[in-house]
Copies of this chain bind each other. A is one copy, B any other.
Amino acid sequence: MHEIGALVRDGLVAQGMESRSRGGRPSRVVELSDTVQFLAIDVGTVSISAGTTNAYLEVLETVEEPTDLKAGPASVMAQIEECARRLTGDARGPLRVAGVGIGIPSPVSVELGEPVDPALMPGWDRFPIRDQLSERLGVPVSVDKDANLMVLGEGHRGAAQGIEDCLFVKLGSGISCGIVVGGSLYRGHSGAAGDIGHVPAGNSDVPCHCGRRGCVEAQVGAAALGARALAAARSGESPFLAERLASTGTLVGMDLALANAAGDPAAARIIRETGALIGEALSALVNFFNPERIVLGGPSAAFGPPLLTEVHSAILKRSSSLSTAGLVVMSSTLGKTSGLIGAARLASDTFLTSLSRSH
């Protein structure tokens, strides 16, 4: 996509020098100019985050906006373009960035750059996100599943850095997973790897949006947690949540974190039960994959130590002693930024690959 001669001419790339270590995958010895920027976009079910980074994937500027992913591609794609142009200051024409990386909460055909069977993105199935956005923005765009980008980000300079075999578990509207094998992102044969939301755990009667019952996502996804918070408020079990419901008119899963921080016992119990269910779901994967480390990220990871402890405890109870002996379970260290840094890393890897191909 990039012709290296043109990049050298434009001052974006200097040839033949030792590259400054940037954790990327330098396909040839190039020095990315400090003027090279990447644009990272993290699309969630209810918000869009975007940020620019320099060549070393340090975040320069960010924007965040509420969105409604369920509204479908037409309005959301326009909103993504608008965020991108606002951030880069390019009101029209091609963006002056070397590439765009974008994460979405869906399985992605990386080859085609589009979501496949996206349970949380109705109306988006097989929508050509990469190609349409690349045409609108005039630069190369790469698309991947959000959990994959989060583990790329954590691997770049977070909780997965230097870890050979790692699972990153994203706890949000959906429950999904990014997998690192031998230090590299593992996407599976068709890019579908890490789809763990429908592992059975807990109550086998709970119906899931996938049509089956007992899936972990149906019990600890954001919607299920919101419903549990609401039930605890309405039953009078949690005075804290009842008061919050009365004052705000609604409750979401993250209100459990506030309630727990305020010492609410009902919220503490729900968080512990959530951890136990997640650990139960992960235990079969620990036996199968025997990771060195499990990193919990996404919004519900904000439940913190009690969640972490129950996840780990449930795994220790159910997985083999050999697979758990050296296992570390910890929270994301980059928090909300992991998806942005991972998206920038994807854009940067794509850029470096295109350099090596063009030369």
Contacts and interface: CB of A to CB of B under 8 A. Distances in A.
A329 to B, nearest CB: 13
Contacts of A179: 288
- Which of A109, A212, A290 has the most CB atoms of chain B within a 10 A radius of its CB? A290
Contacts of A199: 284, 287-288
Interface stretch (A8-16, A82-90, A187-195): A187-195
Interface size class on chain A is 35 or more
A290 B193 contact: yes
A265 interface: no
Contact of A107 (B116, B181, B194, B320): B320
Contact of A109 (B188, B189, B191, B322): B322
A64 interface: no
Given A186-B181, A199-B284, A191 B290 contact: yes
Given A186-B181, A288-B196, A191 B322 contact: yes
Nearest to A325: B190
A323 B284 contact: no
A104 to B, nearest CB: 13
Interface string A168-186: 0000000001010110001
A355 to B, nearest CB: 24
Interface in A57-110: 107, 109
Contacts of A165: 188-189
A188 B186 CA distance: 14
A135 interface: no
A249 to B, nearest CB: 36
Contacts of A187: 290
B189 A291 contact: yes
A344 to B, nearest CB: 25
A3 interface: no
B287 A190 contact: no
Interface of A: 107, 109, 116-117, 164-165, 177, 179, 181-182, 186-196, 198-200, 204, 212, 284-285, 287-292, 318, 320-323, 325-327
Given A188-B290, A189-B290, A196-B284, 14 more contacts: A116-B320, A165-B189, A181-B186, A182-B182, A188-B323, A189-B292, A192-B323, A193-B288, A194-B290, A195-B287, A196-B288, A198-B284, A200-B284, A288-B288
Q: Which 8 A-B pairs have the closest CB atoms?
A: A188-B290, A192-B323, A189-B292, A192-B322, A193-B290, A195-B287, A192-B290, A116-B322
